[in-house]
Chains A and B, each alone.
Chain A
Amino acid sequence: MTNTIQSWNKGRRALVIGSGTAVNAIVETLQLSGANVLLAPHDGLEHEQAVSALLDQARDELGGELTTLVFADKVVEPSDASALTLAQWHALTAINLDARFFCSAEFARRCIAAESAGSIMHLLSKSAEQANSGFSAGASAAGGVLTMNMSLAVEWGRDNIRSNIIATHLIDYELKADDPALPTLGNLVAYYSSDYAAYITGACHGVDEA
């Protein structure tokens, strides 16, 4: 029995934004499925100029404009909502909400200009669906992304740019690199990034969130 994934993303150019073992597993699986991948941290992406520069860098390093964007939540420490300053609130929502929009829009502008298809995958915290105490900023950002995903799926559907979400506990904390759930997450992202998922857009689900 062969359980290897096939060349679902052969020739694709993917930018993965985030860090941690779950993100690393996604990068490895995208590469196994044939994609050239650039992994980048969240640093500075709340500023649109940094987003444009990062996509230029990805284009130059990967040999062409991106076909695939994966944006994973930046994991943050819990903080009581009553103790959050406005500056802290802005910092938390800027990276997990504003930066997602800036990256998605810049990615789509380039796909539309090149008349090429694209896939956007948002990796969200489980708090997207089940907000926990201590994460008011993260949960608010995640809730916003849930609906942003649906709006963008409609706006860009005819451009063959798809937008989907995996909302999972697997990115809420650091897992061991051999965690048995990580291959499933990687495989899911790789499949959704490929043309085998060409009819999937505006979707959101988890891995085992019950």
Chain B
Amino acid sequence: MSSKSKSYTPTPAPPLDCPPFPADMLKGQVAFVTGGGSGMGFGMARAFAQAGADLAIVGRSIDRLQGAVSKLESYGGKVATVACDVRNADAVSHAFDEAEAALGPVTILANNAGANFPALAEQMSPNAWRAVIRIAVDGTFLCSSEFARRCKLNGNKGAIINNSAQYIWTGFPGDVHSATAKAAIAHMTKAMANDWRADGIRVNCIAAGFFPHPDVVGGSEDDAIRMGKMFPIGRVGEIREWGWLATLTVSPLMDAMTGETLMIDGGDRLRRSLMHEEFIAPRERANVWGEMPL
């Protein structure tokens, strides 16, 4: 018994060429962005660049990073590409060496690298579980601890922003690996904030909703409109507003904030009604994650 809603016009994100920060706010800072060549990682890297930071964009394949370089360089800062598997401690250490040789000491870390795919828990192979957990949880731990050691050694303050997700408070079927990993990251955020507060290293996290980009379902314009109908706000998130929020957290404007998990999801985390459509067991669904509205 649902009635069709009338047409509403959601407040759009401000345009890309109107960032919320001065173009020199992060001047002189070096940001290390894992998965920074595409999607949400690129969104953070671009927003850091708009605020004047130099960038090390990090990924397993240099080839996948190259396409982002000229776009990021157009904001005037330096950009280095660094190949790294964040699951490997030696590779992480080497990647920081490479980034610092090219750009100087890293003062901002964005832990964005991750993976996700629908999989029912009872059918999930140990390798599928490890594929998600090790990139997100081990990768965030290894990059963060390497970053903190170097900040302490150099006597530098630092800021970390971790990429988490809106479903960490509820989980959802077909996603036990990612829900677990993303919740672990939110708690890691608090623990590391406590460990490093006295050293001037701030650690925060953002639980993000749907920010479609060409690499994911919902990346097309039509999909984005359909998907946007699911949310109380009435649209999907724009990569730029995600990137700007990440930039806010690592900026001097938030000097006193640490250990917090912010949320930007258009209200997706929230329950929409008391009654729901009939519950179908996840294993009986055509799509374990559910279907987008028409």
Contact = CB atoms under 8 A, between A and B. Distances in A.
Given A153-B267, A180-B256, A201 B232 contact: yes
A2 B248 CA distance: 14
Contacts of B238: 199
Nearest to B240: A196
Interface in B81-130: none
Nearest to B193: A210
Contacts of A132: none
A157 B270 CA distance: 11
Interface in A1-29: 1-6, 8
Nearest to B28: A1
A33 B251 CA distance: 17
Interface stretch (A49-57, A135-143, A187-195): A187-195
B234 A2 contact: no
Nearest to A170: B256
Contacts of B12: 195, 198
A207 interface: yes
B8 interface: yes
Contact of B257 (A184, A200, A202): A184
B193 A154 contact: no
Given A8-B20, A202-B232, A154 B253 contact: no
Interface residues of B, number: 54
A209 B270 CA distance: 23
Given A188-B257, A205-B262, A207-B260, A199 B22 contact: no
A181 interface: yes
The main secondary structure of chain A at its interface with chain B is loop
B11 A154 contact: no
Contacts, number: 141
Interface in B1-60: 5, 8-14, 20-22, 24-28, 52
A177 interface: no
A8 B245 CA distance: 13
Given A1-B27, A202-B232, A207 B256 contact: yes
B54 to A, nearest CB: 13
The main secondary structure of chain B at its interface with chain A is loop
B183 to A, nearest CB: 15
Contacts of A158: 5, 8, 10, 232-234
Contacts of B13: 195-196, 198-199
A35 to B, nearest CB: 15
A206 B245 CA distance: 15
Contacts of B28: 1
Contacts of B256: 180-181, 183-185, 207-208
A26 to B, nearest CB: 14
Contacts of B263: 200, 202-205
Given A197-B241, A200-B262, 9 more contacts: A150-B270, A157-B231, A181-B256, A198-B241, A200-B263, A200-B265, A202-B232, A202-B267, A210-B259
13 contacts: A3-B22, A3-B252, A195-B12, A196-B20, A196-B244, A197-B241, A197-B245, A199-B13, A199-B265, A199-B266, A200-B245, A205-B263, A208-B256
Interface of A: 1-6, 8, 117, 150, 153-154, 157-160, 162, 180-181, 183-185, 187-188, 191, 194-210
